Amino acid sequence: MRLDNMLLAEGVAGPEKGGGSAAAAAAAAASGGAGSDNSVEHSDYRAKLSQIRQIYHTELEKYEQACNEFTTHVMNLLREQSRTRPISPKEIERMVSIIHRKFSSIQMQLKQSTCEAVMILRSRFLDARRKRRNFNKQ
């Protein structure tokens, strides 16, 4: 649940209405000034965040599709097996729930790695101290 909340807050999960750029804009406003250097950094941040968002959604879609295909395959196998030996509906439900549990743990790992990527991105771009470029190096 915490991972879901964090992904929603960062604009990675949830509706596709540019949530990532909204989160980046809020973070940019919170972090301070809007110099030309800053705007370049924030546009870079938004680009990287949208890239993370895109990867997250494609991977999540792949996992959901694989889960559905595998569940269908197992259901067909169990139907074939039921011709040979009796298989109760309770057993079938149990197998399906096991499959869903395995795939949900994989999805949890995806969410975790996505959160880690967002946190690394934030620490690099938004939490970084301003570079002092106007001093002589003597």
- The candidate with the shortest Cα–Cα distance to 66, out of 95, 94, 107, 97, is 107
**Tens digit of pLDDT at every position of the chain (138 positions):** 777 777 777 777 776 544 444 444 444 444 444 445 567 667 888 888 899 999 999 999 999 999 999 999 999 999 899 999 999 989 999 999 999 999 999 999 998 999 899 888 888 876 665 555 566 665
Helix runs in the chain, H state only? 2-10, 19-31, 36-84, 89-125
Cβ-based neighbours of 61, under 8 Å, separated by 6 or more: none
Domain that holds residue 47: 2-7+35-125
Domain assignment present for 49? yes
Report yes or no on 136 lying in a domain.
Answer: no
CA 123, 126, 129: angle at the middle one, nearest 5?
85
Q: How many domains does the chain have?
A: 1
Report if residue 82 sits inside a domain: yes
The 8-class DSSP code of residue 15 comes to -
> What is the C-alpha separation between 30 and 26, in angstroms, rounded?
6
* CA atoms in the 13 A half-sphere facing the CB of 47: 6
Torsion, Cα 35 12 19 39, to 10 degrees, reads 10
On whether residue 121 sits in a domain, the answer given is yes
Output the CA angle 57-6-130, nearest 5 degrees: 100
For residue 94, is it within any domain? yes
- For the entire predicted model, the pTM comes to 0.68
